[in-house]
């Protein structure tokens, strides 16, 4: 992602409805792991950008490091006091089986060699370690937004499942996210001329926050959405 987009993301992510709900999703996944008896350990947040998800991990007791490919993203994380490593996701600078948790939210779609990135996630996880992964889905939603933020692809559900299972992960949960707003997103993407990373009026931001939060309580995970969320583990 371009440095200007990283800076834009960092400025927006604390208040923007999409990033706030994505952090809430991460927090709920961490709570689920906790209820399963998984204690916080060493974590890596791949493609951390502004570091919002890394801060969630650290706030929940995980010893979390941000990983960023670009200089601008690494600088933003450093400015926010987040431990950060600048590296490529296809050659992670961590030892085999050294991590308890890897998060990769909206990362794999940026990587040409996503198979190597998936293999690296499995390599650095301890046996029994977990991965939390999110990607944008459905090439029918491809737009100038994807071009502006340097996406290589949007994933189909079966494509993502095959990628992760071929790498050696066991998938415990695969579900759609941002289902209720898909019709709006599809309409907007057809008219898109660039990135959707824009500031919103407080009223619009609140309205979208309410809609996306409603998905927490609705059985919509198998319906078409804008993103796919995965919880997986290394056996």
**8 A C-beta contact, residue 69 and residue 86:** yes
Model pLDDT for residues 197-218, shown as the tens digit of each residue: 677 889 999 999 999 999 999 9
Q: What is the 3-state secondary structure (H, E, C) of 8-46?
A: HHHHHCCCCHHHHHHHHHHHHHHHHHHHCCCCCCEEEEE
What lies within 8 Å, CB to CB, of 56 at 6+ separation is 23, 26, 27, 30
Q: Which helix (H) or strand (E) holds 190?
A: helix 182-190
Model pLDDT for residues 88-131, shown as the tens digit of each residue: 999 999 999 999 999 999 999 999 999 999 999 999 999 999 99
The whole-model pTM stands at 0.92
Q: How many domains does the chain have?
A: 1
- Output the domain CATH number for residue 15: 3.40.50.150
Model pLDDT for residues 54-71, shown as the tens digit of each residue: 999 999 999 999 999 988
Range of the domain at 204: 3-233
């Amino acid at each position: 992602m371009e440095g200007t987009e990283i800076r834009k993301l960092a400025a927006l992510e604390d208040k923007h409805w999409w990033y706030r709900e994505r952090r809430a999703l991460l927090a709920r996944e961490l709570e689920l792991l906790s209820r399963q008896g998984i204690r916080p350990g060493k974590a890596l947040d791949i493609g951390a950008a502004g570091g919002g998800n890394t801060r969630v991990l650290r706030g929940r007791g995980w010893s979390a490091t941000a990983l960023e490919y670009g200089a601008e993203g690494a600088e933003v994380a450093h400015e926010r006091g987040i431990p950060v490593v600048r590296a490529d996701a296809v050659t992670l600078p961590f030892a085999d089986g050294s991590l308890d948790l890897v998060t990769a939210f909206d990362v794999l779609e940026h990587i040409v060699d996503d198979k190597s990135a998936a293999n690296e996630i499995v390599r650095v996880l301890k046996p029994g370690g977990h991965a939390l992964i999110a990607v944008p889905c459905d090439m029918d939603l491809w737009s100038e937004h994807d071009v502006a933020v340097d996406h290589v692809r949007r994933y189909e559900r079966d494509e993502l499942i095959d990628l992760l299972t071929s790498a050696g992960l066991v998938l415990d949960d695969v579900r759609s996210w941002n289902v209720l707003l898909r019709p709006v997103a599809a309409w907007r993407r057809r008219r898109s001329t660039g990135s959707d990373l824009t500031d919103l009026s407080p009223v619009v931001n609140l309205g979208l926050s309410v809609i996306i939060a409603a998905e927490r309580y609705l059985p919509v995970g198998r319906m078409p959405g804008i993103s796919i969320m995965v919880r997986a583990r290394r056996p």
